[in-house]
Amino acid sequence: MSPARKTTVFTVIAVATAVTAALAGCSSTGSTDSPGGTATSSAASQVAITLNAGGSGDSCDLSTTTAKAGPVTFTITNKTSTAITEVELLSAGRILGEKENLAPGLGAVSFTSTLGGGRYQIYCPGAEKETTAFTVTGKAAAAPKGGVQGLLKQGTTGYATYVAGVLTNMTTAVDNLQTAVDSGDLAKAKAAYALARPFYERIESDVDGFVLPGFKATDNAGNLDYLIDMRASNLDDAVGWHGFHAVERDLYGTGAITDGTKQLAAELTSNVGKLNALAEKLTYKPEDLANGAAGLLEEVQSEKIKGEEEAFSHLDLIDFAANVEGAKQAFAFLEPGMKKIDPDLTKTVNTQFAAVATLLEKYQDPSAAGGYVTYTPELRATDAGTLSQAVQALQDPLSKIAEKVATAR
C-alpha cells in the first residue's frame, strides 16, 4: 500500500470548549528514546500513540484518551503503518499540534501542547479509525478576552504558528523526496512526491511573493514561487523548468530518474530552505488571512479543476484538497472574531466548507499515493463542473470576509 494522506478539512468536528490563542503556540520537542512514551517532564501528562498496519486497515492507538489540564506530551511511534504518515491534535477545526513524515520503523517523536479542559480530537489520516476523541479534565480553557480586534489579533498570531509548522514539515518532505530521487527508485520517488506536494499548496497564497536578493520581482529566475511551483502552463522559456513540476515531469512524464532529475530535486530542496528562512518572520493582518483563503480557492478554480497543476502525474485532487485545507485553517483562526462580526456569514461559510468536504470524500482512496484517485482526463470531463460549482458556492461568501475583518471595530 502506498503512503496516503487525507486532509483535516474532511473531518467534521464538534467541540464543547473555547480555544485560547495560546493553543496555537504549541511547542514541539525532538525525538524521544522510548516508544512507550516515557515522561519527558514530570509536569506533563503523557500520551503514547502507536501506528500499526493491519489486515482490515491500519490502526492509530492511544495509550489513554484522557489527560489533566496543563502540558500534555504526545509521543508517536510508527511501527509498521505505511498508510498513516501524520498525527494531528485538533480543536474547533484548528491544528494545535502535529507530527508529519512519519515512516514505519523510525524512532519515536513527540510534541507538547498546553491544553485547557475540554474535548479535543486525535486525527490520523489513513487509519481505519481516523479520529479519536480526546478529553482533557480540569479547568476549561479560558475564553479569548477582549473585543473583536483582540480576537482577530489572536487569530493572526495562531495562524502564523500554523504557517511556520507547514513550512517546517514541507522542508522535511522535500528532503525525503530528494533522498528518494537520489536512490534511483522510481516508485519510491513517486510516493515521496505525492506526500510532499500538499504542503506548499496549503500556504501558497502567503508565501508566493518572495524574490531572491539581486533579482527584480518580474524576473522568474529569482522568483521563489516560480522556482518551486512553476507549471507547464506558465513555463518561462528564458528560465526553464524548475521545482516540483520539473521533478514530476521526469518521474511521471519520461518515467526515468536521470542526473538532471537529481539536480532538480537538490535545487528544490535548496529553494524550499531559502523560502523557509525568508518566511519565518512573517506577520499577518486579519484581512491577509481572509484574502489568502480566497486566493487558495481561486487556485482551485484556475488550476486544479482544469487539471493544469499536475499535468504529468494527475495528482491534482491532492493539491485541490490541500488548497481547501489551507483556506479552512485561515478561516478557522478568524472564526472567533467573525462570529461577533457576522454570525450568519460565518455559519454559511462553515456550511459550504462542509459541502466541499463531503464532495471530496468520494475521491479519497487510502491505497493511492497521497490518498486520492488520479484526476484523469476522463474524470475531469465528468466531474469538473460539479467540483467547480461546490468551490464557487464556498468562494462567494468567503470573499466577503476580508472587508468585514479589515473594517471591524
pLDDT at 238 over 60: yes
Per-residue pLDDT, averaged over 357-369, amounts to: 92
The domain segmentation of the chain, as residue ranges, is 39-143, 164-407
- 221 φ/ψ sector (left φ>0, alpha ψ -120 to 50, else beta): alpha
Give the pLDDT score at 163.
Answer: 94
Distance CA 371, CA 130 (A): 13
Query: What φ, ψ does residue 103 adopt, rounded to 5°?
Result: -105, 145
Residue range 72-125, pLDDT digits in tens: 889 999 999 988 988 989 887 677 777 877 888 888 888 878 889 999 999 998
Residue whose grid cell is 531572491 = 212
Name the pTM for this structure. 0.74
Spatial neighbors of 41 by CB under 8 A, at least 6 apart, are 71, 73, 112
CA dihedral 89, 135, 365, 97 (to 10 degrees): 0
Per-residue pLDDT, averaged over 17-39, amounts to: 34
Maximum mean pLDDT: which of 10-14, 53-57, 140-144, 170-174: 170-174
Report the top-level CATH class of 164-407. mainly alpha
Chain-centroid distance of CA 171 in Å reads 13
Per-residue pLDDT, averaged over 31-49, amounts to: 55
Give the pLDDT score at 93.
Answer: 67
| Range of lowest pLDDT (104-113, 179-188, 305-314) | 104-113
Q: Considering only CA atoms, which of 302, 331, 305 is closest in space to residue 320?
A: 305
Identify the CATH number of the domain defined by range 39-143: 2.60.40.420
What mean pLDDT, rounded, does the chain reach?
A: 86
Distance CA 199, CA 176 (A): 13
Spatial neighbors of 82 by CB under 8 A, at least 6 apart, are 1, 2, 3, 53, 58, 104
pLDDT band per the 50, 70, 90 thresholds, residue 20 = very low
pLDDT band per the 50, 70, 90 thresholds, residue 14 = very low
Q: What is the DSSP string of 195-243?
A: HHHHHHHHHHHHHTT-B-TTS-TT-GGGBHHHHHH--GGG--TTT---H
In contact, 96 and 57? CB cutoff 8 Å: no
Give the pLDDT score at 33.
Answer: 33
Give the pLDDT score at 22.
Answer: 33
pLDDT at 356 over 60: yes
- Positive or negative: CA dihedral 168, 174, 177, 179: negative
Spatial neighbors of 166 by CB under 8 A, at least 6 apart, are 199, 202, 203
- Positive or negative: CA dihedral 81, 84, 88, 91: negative
Distance CA 253, CA 266 (A): 19
Give the pLDDT score at 32.
Answer: 34
The strands making up 109-115's β-sheet, listed across from edge to edge, are 27-28, 109-115, 70-78, 45-52, 59-62
Spatial neighbors of 176 by CB under 8 A, at least 6 apart, are 101, 192, 195, 196
